[in-house]
Each structure stands twice: as C-alpha cells, then as structure tokens.
Amino acid sequence: MGGKILSGEILTERAGNIATVILSAPDRLNAMNLAMWQGIADAFSALDADDDLRCIVLRGAGEKAFAAGADIAEFAAERFDRDSARKYGEVMAAALSAIQNCRHPVVAMIHGVCVGGGLELACCCDMRICGAASRFGVPVKNLGLVVALNEMQAVAGVVGRATALEIVLEGRIFDAAEALQKGLLSRVVPDDQVTAEAEAAARRIAQGAPLVARWHKTFARRLAEPRALTVDEIEESYACFATEDFQTGYKAFLDKAKPEFKGR
C-alpha cells in the first residue's frame, strides 16, 4: 500500500511504517457523514491487516478541526427516524470498533474543534495530542439526540463513567486544559507544534518492537474488563521472550546499538 487513497471522504497516506488517516471535509470542519464513517471502517480494517505497519495517525484535514461531530445536514436523508438511525448507527459502530480493535497503535492528532462524533473517534485512539486552542464536548442534548451505548463506552473508557456523564449531560464545550484535567488527553502542546509532536510520537512508537506494542494494546483492553485474569492470559505476558525481536532488543541494549526490529 502506498501513495494516497480516497475512500469516500477518508484519505489514507503512508510514509514508511506509519500511516495517516485523514478525515477530509474541511469545508464543514470535517463533520462526519455516512460515507466518512464507512470510509473509516474500511481504512482501519485494511490497515489492521498490514503486517509492515507500526503506527497510525488519525487527524482531520487542515488545522481548524479534528472533527465537528456529525453532519447535521445529512439527517433529513440518512438519520430521520428510528430505523434509519439504527442503520446509520451500525455503520458508526463499525467505524469506532475498527479503530479500537486495530492491532496497531493509533495516535489522534487533534487540531482545533473535536466535538460530538469527533470526540468519540478520538477516544477510540490510544493517544490523543492536541493544541492549546482545541475545544471539546458532546452537545447532543441540544439536538434531542442520545449518545449510543457503544459511543458513550468509548468516551467512558477514557475518562470514566462519571466524567462521561458530566460531558453529555451538560453538553458544554470546554478547553484543552480542562480536557487534560479530565484525563481525556495524553498531552497538550502549542498549536503550531501539534503536527510535529503527534508525528514524533508516532515515530517513537514505530521504533519499538511492533509485537510488543500489539501485546500492550491487547493487555490494556483486557484490563478494562472486570473479570479475573486467567492463567493462560498471564502466561501470554512471557510470550515475548520467544520472539526474535526480544533477542534483537536486549543484544542491542548490551551493545549500545539501535535495534532493528522485524516484528518476528
């Protein structure tokens, strides 16, 4: 996979072992329509299958918005009653799940506005890096619209149930400092450094052993479940010692050399 691929209004770019997925509707602050939700599901499903990939960056086109929620203008045609909303919701759920279940680490590069469905997308990523001027919130109460269970689960998984409830009940738009305090963000940087910092984070991730990154994602997701760990699950913690990458990593450390991981 290489070059630039257009899938609805989702762009996928590839630079070495890092891919960038772009929500591309800058004329409407990257507000998500049905084609874009489907494009996200398709893009992340394809990237998940790429063994050579080490990290994915998710961003909005331009620097005014990550995503300004759903495209409300589309509701009359695509989301106007219970049945149509259910079908629309199934596509949304597939997109969120594709990000959450992607085996590669995903970094959200957040410029500007990140609200509604945009915030839900960001919460499905493994890290969220934004600029000081970014704004956040889920103001669906003003639309008479419910945040579906799986959508709220994505937000609550990051900030906890009480804070997720505060966000949807009040529907306030809040700043990056408050978002960081709520635990919503990994870090906040000056606005003109968002791209550089998110790309640097992706490079740091990509330089590590890819199998280890995938295990860590699996472990973190599993630890969110209340059931007790099984003997087999704990045993998986030691599987890394049987990999070629472990041999490469510890020998490089002893030799004071840079490891070249192969993902084996």
Amino acid 255: pLDDT = 79
pLDDT of residue 218 exceeding 70: yes
pLDDT of residue 7 exceeding 60: no
pLDDT of residue 215 exceeding 90: no
What SS3 class is residue 14?
strand
Count: domains in the chain: 2
114 with 163, same domain: the answer is yes
- Whether 129 maps to a domain, the answer reads yes
Are the beta carbons of 34 and 91 closer than 8 angstroms? yes
Dump pLDDT digits (tens) for 95-128. Answer: 999 999 999 999 999 999 999 999 999 999 999 9
Q: CA of 248: how far to CAs of 95, 170, 206, 251, in Å?
A: 36, 51, 15, 5
- Whether 14 maps to a domain, the answer reads yes
183 with 54, same domain: the answer is yes
109 with 126, same domain: the answer is yes
Among 154, 159, 157, 119, which residue's Cα sits nearest to residue 135? 119
202 with 214, same domain: the answer is no
Are the beta carbons of 9 and 33 closer than 8 angstroms? yes
Are the beta carbons of 95 and 102 closer than 8 angstroms? no
Are the beta carbons of 142 and 171 closer than 8 angstroms? yes
Backbone φ/ψ region at 158: left (φ over 0), alpha (ψ -120 to 50), beta: alpha
Quickly state the pLDDT bin for 8 (edges 50, 70, 90).
very low
Tell me the two tokens of residue 101.
């279940």
126 with 218, same domain: the answer is no
- Whether 180 maps to a domain, the answer reads yes
- Whether 17 maps to a domain, the answer reads yes
pTM across the whole model = 0.91
Among 53, 17, 185, 24, which residue's Cα sits nearest to residue 110? 185
89 with 154, same domain: the answer is yes
What SS3 class is residue 55?
strand
- Whether 87 maps to a domain, the answer reads yes
The phi, psi pair for 87, rounded to 5°, reads -65, -40
Amino acid 194: pLDDT = 98
Size of the chain in residues: 264
123 with 224, same domain: the answer is no
What whole-number percentage of the chain has pLDDT above 90?
A: 65
Tell me the two tokens of residue 171.
């529907």
19 with 41, same domain: the answer is yes
- Whether 261 maps to a domain, the answer reads no
C-alpha to C-alpha distance for 183 and 187, rounded to whole angstroms: 10
Amino acid 107: pLDDT = 98
164 with 118, same domain: the answer is yes
Amino acid 98: pLDDT = 97
111 with 56, same domain: the answer is yes
- Whether 200 maps to a domain, the answer reads yes
pLDDT of residue 4 exceeding 60: no
Amino acid 53: pLDDT = 96
226 with 165, same domain: the answer is no
Are the beta carbons of 102 and 48 closer than 8 angstroms? yes
193 with 229, same domain: the answer is no
Q: Taking residues 3-16, report their average pLDDT.
A: 72
Q: Which domain does 237 fall in, by range?
A: 209-254
Among 163, 114, 173, 97, which residue's Cα sits nearest to residue 142? 173
| 20 strand-pairing partners | 13, 57
Average per-residue pLDDT in the chain? 91
Dump pLDDT digits (tens) for 115-169. Answer: 999 999 999 999 999 999 999 999 999 888 898 898 999 999 999 999 999 999 9
- Whether 234 maps to a domain, the answer reads yes
Can you give the CATH number for the domain in which 128 is found? 3.90.226.10
Are the beta carbons of 92 and 148 closer than 8 angstroms? yes
